[in-house]
Amino acid sequence: MAQFHVYLNENEANQDRYPYLLDIQHDLLNHLETRLIIPLGKMGEERVKQLHLPVEIRGEHFIMVTTEMASAPLWILGKEVADLSGHASDIINAIDFLITGF
């Protein structure tokens, strides 16, 4: 698992709503059995510009649903499909906005 990489969502309960999961946990903590993730949802959902960043995965448009950030077990992360590390600063800014409000 790698920080800021996107994985298929293997959880059948919500994979239709959130087909992809963004791993935001630092690689130093790869020994843990969980990952801190941000689900990626369909672009049509309501969004707050600072929290719900648009991303493109496999030619489709999604938003980072930062407000749904959660810890998830490793089994939920399927095949790696994208690397968003080039957007690390934007991702961290969205998390900061969620926590600090600015």
CA distances from 19 to 11, 51, 98, 100 (A): 9, 18, 22, 28
Domain ranges of the chain: 5-100
Is 5-100 a CATH 2.30.30.110 domain? yes
pLDDT tens track for 31-78: 999 999 999 998 775 778 889 999 999 999 999 999 999 999 999 999
DSSP 8-class letter at 25: S
Whether 98 shows a pLDDT value over 70: the answer reads yes
Query: What pLDDT is recorded for position 102?
Result: 84
Whether 82 shows a pLDDT value over 80: the answer reads yes
Query: What pLDDT is recorded for position 45?
Result: 59
* 8 Å CB contact between 3 and 25: yes
